[in-house]
Amino acid sequence: MAPSVQEMFLQYHSKYGWLRTLRQVIKSQFDDITPLDCTTPETLMASIPTTLSLLPKQARLQNDRKYQSQVLTASRLLLHRNYGKPWIQDVKPYLHIMLPYGRAIARLRVSAHKLEVERRRYHNQVAREGRLCQDCALLDQVVVEDEEHVALDCPSWARWRDGMIKAAGLDQSTLSRKQFMAAMMDPKPGEALAVGAFWHRVFGKVDKRWT
């Protein structure tokens, strides 16, 4: 036997039951659906069928909006987004230079090198503060040998570093450490060759430590 109008009205205002759950779902998930009209038992009964018929349609619309939003923003869907359209994908400047130099910058970007900060992480499982620069240790300096140390501070690379800065046209006086490292990781067209050559020489020498 179907519930009476009064029973449905009472169930809507109770703490339990499917009508209360339906009301909560509509309120939290479906902004485009008008809440159930509970002004009177009669208006409630009249609004239930209409609301239930709208739910599947609105659910599909919301999923479609979410999908479209992801398509328009997700970098991994770049090809999907531009399929069938003429478009040009920007290529990083370091990919236009000589392969060994471009590869050196790629190694820097993904930390695929043998500086102590990475080598001791995997081979010796040493805490970061213990992955020290051996050259600076000879000068009684306790410094972690990471990319920033090599690019900015370590005296062992000073001659190559100065040459790279001059060739790339970088002005250290106007760049913070963070900005300088950003220029190392993603050099501009006029900087890529000098930056790539620097890291190629650095990684080449570092690689020979363990061969």
In this predicted model, what pLDDT tens digit does every residue of 109-126 receive, in sequence order?
A: 999 999 999 988 877 789
pLDDT band at 101 (very low <50, low <70, confident <90, very high): very high
CA pair distance 30, 145, nearest whole angstrom:
54
Considering only residues 37 and 90, tell me which one the structure prediction assigns the higher pLDDT: 90
Q: Give me the amino acid identity at 68.
A: Q
CA pair distance 105, 28, nearest whole angstrom:
48
Strands in the chain per DSSP E: none
Residue 98 has pLDDT above 60, yes or no: yes
DSSP string, 144-195: B--HHHHHHT-GGGHHHHHHHHHHHT--GGG--HHHHHHHHHS--TTTHHHH
Average pLDDT over residues 39-58: 69
Considering only residues 199 and 95, tell me which one the structure prediction assigns the higher pLDDT: 199
Sorted by where each begins, the domain ranges of the chain are 5-81, 93-210
